[in-house]
Amino acid sequence: MLVFTDTPAQVPVSLQQQQSLSGAIEEYERQVNGPEARQQLQKLNPSLVAERDRAIVELRRERIQKELVARVQSSRSLHR
């Protein structure tokens, strides 16, 4: 299954990539329980924090893309 992001090139995100994004978020959440913990993790494992932030952005893009598609489809059905 492929999901399209709203990047200019409409690059598909594979299911494996989605699972990787979720894994980064889960690992981050396992280690961080507040702002102080995030600051500490930023020092100890900045790549995990960056990967989690990238994953959040990617998931938001996917959600927005789905919402836009739904709006366009809804708009088209109303104009028929």
Burial (CB count within 10 angstroms: exposed 0-12, middle 13-18, buried 19+), residue 70: exposed
pTM, rounded to two decimals: 0.67
In this predicted structure, the answer to whether residue 36 has a pLDDT above a threshold of 90 is yes
The confidence score (pLDDT) of residue 56 equals 93
Number of independent structural domains in the chain: 1
pLDDT surpasses 50 at 9: no
Judge whether residue 20 has pLDDT over 70.
yes
Domain that holds residue 40: 2-78
Quote the Cα angle for 10-6-25, to 5°. Answer: 110
Alpha-carbon distance 69 to 74, whole Å? 8
CB 64 within 8 A of CB 6: yes
Q: How confident is the model at residue 75 (pLDDT cuts 50, 70, 90)?
A: confident
